[in-house]
Amino acid sequence: MFDLQNIRNQFPILQQSVNGKPLVYLDNAATSQKPISVLDSWMKYYTEINANVHRGIHTLSQLATEEMELARQKVQKFINAKHDYEVIFTRGTTEGLNLIAYTLTGMMKEGDEIIISHLEHHSNIVPWQMLCERTGAKLKVIPMDENGVLQMDFLRENLNERTKIVSVNHVSNALGVINPVEEIIAETRKNSDALIVIDGAQSVPHFKIDVQQMDCDFFVFSGHKMYAPMGTGILYGKESVLRKIQPFQGGGEMIAVCTFDKTTYADLPFKFEAGTPNVGGNIALGAAVDFIEQVGHQNIQQHENALLGYCQEKLLQIDGLRIYAEHAKRTGVVSFNLQGVGISSDVGMILDKLGIAVRTGHHCTQPIMRFFDIAGTVRASFAVYNTFAEIDALAEGVKKAQRMLS
């Protein structure tokens, strides 16, 4: 049974007021709130176990190791990776993408090509630009149309033997558009030997992921957008690919044998996990996986899709309001502006006075904003704990902002 009130009761932060109003938290695409079970798992580590992991013979170290490796196994099952050692702990999506781009440097040469899309977050643009600068490779961009839908003909026409990497997000953080990653992967496999990278930061919180069925080479996401602490994330990589590439960082944990003459690297996954990990955060990430599994992917998806549809319906009743990518297949996000209101942050500040938290600005997607010839948007984004009454409050708040700013 899907019990929304029971779910909300698990999030202490939602019970507070902001500016004298009940908090309406609609900034989940930036970061989600954390349930008590996740907070308790983090606190338990620091109050009962706190010790460094791996190689320690004392009891606390062994307990910490067991708990963190259990979290790795939870993530493995959560995304259906074939092996737990294909799951690498990171600090988040950005670090995962940078790790991939850096480690692939030696496999790239001048004239090679990297394909991304117009819908990318800066973290899936800049690392590839840096890789091109290091190697002389060329960056190509799949264009989008006025609905925020990628133009797949471009991909088909540009895939060739020079294509070495195709990297796209699963869901746009700025617009909520669900990209056709299955089609992108199928076309890439058919027409090139390119490695395929999927940025899943905005998809993992909203629907079930199966990396084996997807058949990507890499899949990256952040913990803090799926009810886990900040500073946590996952890089999934196919074993065959991970064994070919060199480590991102050197130091403790990632070595097998270290001498002044030569160092050999540890086996997967530790080859890519140099230094002391975020043990408490990684354990709490496992607890966030438990929370999502307990609520159920289908329940989450159905509820959030209903919120999305209701929000769009309510906002479109407001004259002069435009929703971007209104007709595209979307999840989790409604991105909009009011006609005649030049600065989205003005709307955001008025909503904040009403206790409503939204995100304004370019959302680290300046190419998207440039496409629409705007500086930014107001973005309302949803999680499983949001309610239809909160959507009503948002709509009334936007109407008030429109009256004040017109």
Name the CA radius of gyration of the chain, rounded. 22
For 4-27+296-405, which CATH superfamily applies?
A: Aspartate Aminotransferase, domain 1 (3.90.1150.10)
Find where tokens 């999680």 sit: 383
Question: What is residue 343's predicted lDDT score, i.e. its pLDDT?
Answer: 87
CB 202 within 8 A of CB 381: no
CB 233 within 8 A of CB 289: no
SS3 of 347, please? helix
Q: What is the per-residue burial (b if ≥16 Cβ within 10 Å, else e) of 245-266?
A: bebbeeeebbbeeeeeeeeebb
Give the span between the Cα atoms of 125 and 167, in whole angstroms. 9
Residue 278, C-beta contacts closer than 8 angstroms, at least 6 positions apart: 89, 91, 229, 231, 232
Give the span between the Cα atoms of 345 and 392, in whole angstroms. 20
364 is catalytic: yes
Give the tokens for residue 139.
């960056």
- Considering the candidates 132, 216, 311, 364, report the single residue annotated as catalytic: 364
Question: Reading across the β-sheet that carries 321-323, which strands appear in turn?
Answer: 321-323, 333-338, 377-381, 359-361
Question: What is residue 27's predicted lDDT score, i.e. its pLDDT?
Answer: 98
Widest CA span in the chain: 71
Question: What is residue 36's predicted lDDT score, i.e. its pLDDT?
Answer: 98
pTM tops 0.75, yes or no:
yes
Instruction: Find the length of the chain.
Output: 406
Angle between helices 93-103 and 126-135 (to 10 degrees): 10
Strands 163-169 and 195-199 turn out to be parallel
Question: What is residue 324's predicted lDDT score, i.e. its pLDDT?
Answer: 98
Give the span between the Cα atoms of 81 and 85, in whole angstroms. 9
CB 171 within 8 A of CB 146: no
Start-to-end CA distance of the chain, whole Å, equals 45
Question: What is residue 342's predicted lDDT score, i.e. its pLDDT?
Answer: 80
Q: CA dist 159 to 179, 306, 343, Å?
A: 18, 37, 39
Residues of the chain where predicted confidence (pLDDT) is lower than 50: none
Give the span between the Cα atoms of 139 and 43, in whole angstroms. 44
Question: What is residue 134's predicted lDDT score, i.e. its pLDDT?
Answer: 97
Q: Can you give the residue ranges of every domain in the chain?
A: 4-27+296-405, 39-293
Question: What is residue 206's predicted lDDT score, i.e. its pLDDT?
Answer: 98
| Residue 357 burial by Cβ neighbours in a 10 Å radius (0-12, 13-18, 19+) | middle
Strands 87-90 and 377-381 turn out to be unpaired
CATH of domain 39-293: 3.40.640.10
Question: What is residue 124's predicted lDDT score, i.e. its pLDDT?
Answer: 98
- The answer to whether the peptide bond before residue 269 is cis (omega within 30 degrees of 0) is yes
- The answer to whether the peptide bond before residue 367 is cis (omega within 30 degrees of 0) is no
Question: What is residue 1's predicted lDDT score, i.e. its pLDDT?
Answer: 78
